[in-house]
């Protein structure tokens, strides 16, 4: 039985709302942890700004989608084609605005994945050189999608050839960017933490931590979206609208772990809040400073770090 666009949008607003609720709870908890941090442990203002920007975009996106549901099923329900025809008006303002928010949130998610990779690899630019090129390609194809939304023939669906090349290219570049960054971050986290007792003694917890801190869930979502679009499934609307809160959940979780002292920006991590394996306070100084401090101690030099 086919899954029409109007039904897909009803399912998508439900899924997006549930995920947004999870994200909102996580966002306010993160803000609370950051505000309560002692003045002796300052937090990056850029991380706070990113946290708020992700939440603003996600909030606006879910609001726009609720507006589209009301317009389709109440205001335009008696027009020819009904709600399904409304959802196929790609140049309609709320469609354009919602798509712009989706592209912006996706590109922001890609940029944050690149930043995370850059930080855990100790600011080595060559590590992210290729993903950086892919991000530029994602920006170009994202702009192309929004441009052609206004150019396609009226009532053309999202799978029309004029759009499909741009959309497939955008989904593909964002997916590849995130797979590369996820793999690099996960590998670096493994290298940094494999010697800790918690990582050696527990089998499942380290895998889950690596998936959370590398943003693997976001990459899996992008893969599912790419597959659904290329098989012309309207269920892609459900996954597409879920991307906005998922991006927020993934990266706000990472920010929360750093703000809580469970992880550092350089990638050292504890499995659980009560896990004291290694006996260190992870958020007190970067890993390179700790390594330098250890070397000074070994050589009998009592320098202040």
Interacting residues of 259 by C-beta distance below 8 A, sequence separation 6+:
30, 33, 34, 37, 43, 47, 283
At 258 the pLDDT is 78
Range of the structural domain that residue 206 is part of: 5-270
284, part of any domain: no
Q: Which two tokens stand for residue 18?
A: 């549930």
Give the dihedral of Cα atoms 278, 34, 117, 289; nearest 10 deg.
-50
- Specify the 3-state DSSP secondary structure of 21: helix
Q: Is residue 125 part of a domain?
A: yes
**C-beta neighbour count of 290 within 10 angstroms:** 18
C-beta of residue 107 within 8 angstroms of C-beta of residue 142: yes
In a domain, 277, yes or no: no
Burial of residue 67 (CB within 10 Å: 0-12, 13-18, 19+) is middle
Could you tell me if residue 92 is inside a domain? yes
CB 44 within 8 A of CB 264: no
Span 139-195, pLDDT tens digits? 999 999 999 888 876 667 788 888 889 999 999 999 999 999 888 888 887 787 676
Q: Please, what's the b/e burial string for 250-259 (b: 16 or more CB within 10 A of its CB; e: otherwise)?
A: bbbbbbbbbb
Least confident of 42-46, 111-115, 236-240: 42-46
pLDDT tens-digit map of 53-99: 999 999 999 999 999 999 999 998 888 888 888 888 888 899 999 99
Kindly tell me if the per-residue pLDDT of 281 is higher than 50: no
Tell me the C-alpha distance between 246 and 236, whole Å. 15
Indicate the pLDDT class of residue 302, thresholds 50, 70 and 90: very low
Domain count, the chain: 1
281 part of a folded domain: no
- Supply the Cα-derived Rg of the chain in whole angstroms: 22
pLDDT of the residue at 180: 92
CATH number for the domain spanning 264: value is: 1.20.1070
Report if residue 142 sits inside a domain: yes
Q: Say if 155 falls within a structural domain.
A: yes
Query: 96-143 pLDDT, tens per residue?
Result: 999 999 999 999 999 988 988 888 888 899 999 999 999 999 999 999
Tokens of 124: 């080595």
Confidence at residue 41, expressed as pLDDT on a 0 to 100 scale: 59
The phi and psi torsions of 263 (rounded to 5 degrees) equal: -145, 165
What φ, ψ does residue 296 adopt, rounded to 5°? -65, -40
In a domain, 194, yes or no: yes
Question: Model's pTM, two decimal places?
Answer: 0.81
């Amino acid at each position: 039985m086919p899954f029409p666009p109007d039904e897909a949008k009803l399912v998508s607003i439900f899924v997006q709302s549930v995920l947004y609720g999870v994200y909102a709870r996580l966002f306010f908890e993160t803000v609370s942890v950051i505000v309560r941090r002692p003045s002796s442990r300052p937090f990056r203002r850029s991380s706070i700004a990113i946290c708020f920007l992700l939440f603003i975009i996600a909030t606006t996106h879910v609001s726009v989608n609720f507006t589209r549901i009301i317009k389709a099923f109440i205001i335009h329900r008696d027009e020819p084609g009904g709600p399904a025809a409304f959802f196929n008006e790609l140049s309609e303002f709320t469609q354009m605005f919602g798509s712009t928010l989706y592209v912006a949130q996706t590109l922001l998610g890609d940029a944050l994945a690149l930043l995370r990779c850059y930080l855990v690899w100790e600011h080595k630019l060559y590590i992210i050189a290729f993903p950086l090129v892919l991000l530029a390609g994602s920006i170009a194809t994202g702009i192309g999608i929004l441009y052609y939304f206004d150019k396609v023939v009226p009532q053309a669906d999202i799978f029309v050839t004029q759009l499909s090349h741009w959309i497939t290219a955008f989904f593909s570049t964002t997916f590849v960017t995130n797979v590369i960054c996820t793999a690099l971050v996960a590998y670096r986290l493994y290298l940094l933490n494999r010697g800790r007792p918690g990582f050696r003694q527990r089998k499942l917890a380290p895998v889950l931590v690596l998936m959370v801190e590398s943003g693997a869930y976001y990459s899996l979502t992008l893969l599912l979206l790419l597959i659904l679009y290329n098989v012309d499934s309207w269920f892609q609307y459900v996954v597409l609208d879920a991307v906005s809160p998922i991006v927020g959940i993934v990266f706000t979780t990472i920010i929360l772990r750093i703000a809580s002292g469970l992880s550092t920006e350089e990638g050292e991590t504890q499995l659980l809040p009560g896990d004291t394996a290694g006996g260190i306070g992870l958020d007190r100084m970067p890993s390179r400073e700790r390594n330098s401090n250890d070397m000074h101690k070994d050589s009998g030099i009592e320098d202040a770090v």
